[in-house]
Amino acid sequence: MYRFRRLRRDERVRSMMQETRLHPKDFIYPIFVIEGENVKSPVASMPGVYQYSVDRLGEILERVKESGIGGIMLFGIPAHKDPEGSQAYAEDGITQRAVRFMKENYPEIYIVVDICLCEYTSHGHCGMVCGDEILNDETLPYLVRMAVSLAKAGADMVAPSDMMDGRVTAIREGLDQSGFTQIPIMAYSAKFASAYYGPFRDAAHSSPGFGDRKSYQMDCANGQEALREIAADIEEGADIVMVKPALAYLDVLKESALTYDVPLAVYNVSGEYAMVKAAAANGWIDEQRIVMENLTAMKRAGAKIIITYHALDAVKWI
Ligand code: PBG
Ligand code: ZN
């Protein structure tokens, strides 16, 4: 009999034997920025998460700075939406203004920007629409414009989440041609069409106005296809590849970690956060222990970067 329990005997030896340790730098914290003044508006389905106007961003950025986390991921919510999502690449767009504000006032914080049109389009889809079709190639130049415009504003990294084919190649070329050869791309590579995005769409006002996203996001049944998506994005020049959501897709994350030698990110999405917060609010689970168990599982499965709404709490619990 091998006595495994020898190395579990007390906290000293247990902590010495721990294989996976969370670190503040593992985390990226998503932030929602909205038009207006003096706005800090709670997101009902995501307790603890708010939409901030640019003039109120300082409050959350102070906490980010103090926490020592790796960075933030910015999502803009424009007042004006149109079929082409023009505020996504407008020089004075809400996201561009938020990036400039951060660059000026919090230059030490690493800024990742989500690149997608769904928050900016009147139809709420991630690309250009013709009839009930979401167009692929026609969408790419708009994504490139958005990426270049946010790089100009001062973003440190771009993260395309639209799931159009060929967007990584297009964005890389666009950034390079504009002189942004040093801006990395974190591709949402294996992004599944998931019910777990529900609360985010409330927070970001980005629900599709008709149909769903199944013609561009992946079928949750498809693990092999996820590996092909990741391979394609690496081939196209992605610096970091992502699996999203996290908990129901840890098998995909683990297999990617075993298959590919590139940094992996995982997105612990809004629905996962909402479930934990709701159960904790009811006293049905121990929030701190559940959060740390979930985040540890993501890192154990192979994530180098964890994008999570729990980030600012988790650093206190490490
Ligand atoms: C935009 C985008 C979404 C998320 C990140 N970027 C929503 C979607 O695809 O509908 C989801 C994040 C979350 O649920 O926390 N394409
Ligand atoms: Zn989108």
Ligand 2 centroid, distance to 173 Cα (angstroms): 21
pLDDT interval class at 186 (50, 70, 90): very high
Q: Which of 316, 318, 303 is nearest to 255 (CA)?
A: 303
Ligand 2 centroid, distance to 53 Cα (angstroms): 21
Percent with pLDDT over 90 in the chain: 99
42-61 CB burial, b ≥16 within 10 A, e <16: ebebbeebbbbbbebbeebb
Give dist(CA 163, CA 168) in Å, integer.
10
Question: Domain spanning 20-317: which CATH class is it, in words?
Answer: alpha beta
CA-based end-to-end distance of the chain = 34
Report which DSSP code applies to 177: H
Other CB atoms within a 10 A radius of the CB of residue 259 amount to 12
Residue 261 has what pLDDT? 95
Q: Which residues line ligand 1 (CB under 6 A)?
A: 114, 116, 118, 126, 161, 197, 200-201, 206, 269-270
**CB of 128 closer than 8 Å to CB of 102:** no
Report in angstroms the alpha-carbon separations of 69 from 25, 301, 306.
5, 20, 10
Q: State the virtual CA torsion across 73, 192, 198, 33 in degrees, nearest 10.
A: 20
pTM: 0.98
Beta-strand relationship, 40-42 and 50-52: antiparallel
Q: State the virtual CA torsion across 252, 230, 217, 117 in degrees, nearest 10.
A: 130
φ/ψ (deg, to 5) at 169? -55, -50
Computed over every residue of the chain, the mean pLDDT equals 98
Residue 220 has what pLDDT? 98
Q: State the virtual CA torsion across 245, 262, 186, 246 in degrees, nearest 10.
A: 10
Report domain extents, the chain: 20-317
Rounded mean pLDDT, 12-41:
98
Percent with pLDDT over 70 in the chain: 100
Residue 61 has what pLDDT? 98
